[in-house]
Amino acid sequence: METDNLTKNGRSSTRRAFLAAGAAGLAATAGCTGSAAGGDDVVRIGVLEDRSGDFALNGTSKWQTSVLAVEELNDSGGILGKEIELFDPDPQSDNQRYQELTRRLIQREEVDALWAGYSSAARETIRPLINQYEQLYFYTTQYEGGVCDNTIFPVGATARQQLGAVVPYLIEEYGPRIYTIAADYNFGQISGDWVRILAEENDAEVIGEEFIPLDVSQFGSTINRIQEADPDFVMSMLVGQNHTSFYNQRASAGLDIPIGSSTTMAQGYEHRRLNPPALADMYVGVNYMQEIGTEASDTFVERFYDRWPDAPYLNQEAQNNYFSIHMYAEAAERAGTTDQEAVIEELEKGMEIDAPEGTIELDGDTHHMNHHMRIGHADANHDLAFGNEQYIGAGFLREVGCSLPTDPETTQYLPAEVYDL
């Protein structure tokens, strides 16, 4: 049902008939064209998602939904009557490999569109290449926000969207004294800035902050420092497998202060992996989790597990890969070509798409999505409840005046440049 919604425009039965003929023709000429890259016979999509290494836990389902989306599109006739060919080597959570593979996919495979990367570090490592070759690129992880870049579509929710949903809610619910713990790289640092901005906007205060290197897995003193400061709630933007240990250690040390997050549960499904009550009273601001329970989501979840029966979880980012591949297909159909410039122009007109999270819009000016943001809450048994649904736009980039169709640039804006921190 979701497929029908997602692809309702422009995939009529007449086209399907046309397609069949085209495919037959294709088969006949396949011998001549061979596998020469850049031919017009197929649409080439590159997907670089981590299936091994540090981020395999988060990247695997991103890859799985990408495959699912491509298969669905191919089953219903491909894009513009052409079959989609998927190039999906495993970058292994290694930024150097990201660079090599991105170069290869752009230069040798000449992909028409690229999906790549879990971490912000991976995105930033390939961004110079994306800029150099003006490659149409979708980044789907929820991230710190601020990327205003000609050919990049960061379709995941931003910190302002994720934190903007959960921080004001927790201030209201528990009080104004916040303690931030975050991973010590651009994502965590910028997220920390956002917590401070949102605190100020809501008459609250960040009374303590700690940025923790990614390889740290021991949190005894962090827990003591939080207890010393005695905040009303903790905001945690910890990331990755080592940091996940924090939640278990928090439970065993008896730290029973509520925690808000923009990362936990929605990406690494900690509520499934950790023994309760590690995540008791944990809140996360998200656009999607497989448990949100809407009809569109349930259909999507069912189809996902039909295709990947052994998959452990379907995370927020995986949904983003899924809808953005369908969104790309739609834009290419409307543009009537897979020429990257034309597709980008089409996307920049703005677009509405029926995603599993709900119907959402692409904001053409900033290349970001307006998302349905929800607050997920885990109780002591790790049962989830969702509430406080809001539709939040790409506010920050609008504030700084990012308007890509009229004013092309390749910048990442930082909250510190705009706000008094």
Residues that bind another protein in the complex, under the rule CB under 8 A: 52-54, 56-57, 60, 184, 210-213, 215-225, 227-228, 230, 241-242, 244-245, 248-249, 251-255, 272-276, 278, 310, 312
Read off the amino acid at residue 121: A
Residues sharing a CB contact under 8 Å with residue 181, sequence separation 6 or more, in sequence order = 209, 210, 211, 212, 222, 226, 234, 235, 236, 237, 238, 246
Closest separation in Å from C-beta 315 to another protein: 12
Closest separation in Å from C-beta 85 to another protein: 27
Count Cα atoms within 13 angstroms, Cβ side, for 400.
Answer: 20
- What is the rounded distance in angstroms from the CA atom of residue 48 to the CA atom of residue 99? 11
Helices 95-107 and 120-133, axial angle in degrees (round to 10): 30
Closest separation in Å from C-beta 205 to another protein: 19
Which of 25/213 has CB closer to another protein?
A: 213
Closest separation in Å from C-beta 167 to another protein: 22
Query: 118 near 50, Cβ under 8 Å?
Result: yes
Which of 118/153 has CB closer to another protein?
A: 118
Which of 33/218 has CB closer to another protein?
A: 218
Q: How many CB atoms lie within 10 A of CB 295?
A: 10
Closest separation in Å from C-beta 418 to another protein: 27
Bridge partners (DSSP) listed for residue 353: 360
Residues 250-253: contacts with CB under 8 Å, at least 24 apart: 250/219, 250/223, 250/278, 251/277, 251/278, 251/280, 253/220, 253/223
Closest separation in Å from C-beta 46 to another protein: 23
Count Cα atoms within 13 angstroms, Cβ side, for 19.
Answer: 20
Which of 174/308 has CB closer to another protein?
A: 308
Which residue is associated with the tokens 């949190």? 219
Maximum distance among all alpha carbons in the chain?
74
Which of 9/221 has CB closer to another protein?
A: 221
Which of 266/353 has CB closer to another protein?
A: 266
Which of 169/219 has CB closer to another protein?
A: 219
Closest separation in Å from C-beta 238 to another protein: 11
Q: Provide the token pair at 110.
A: 């000449």
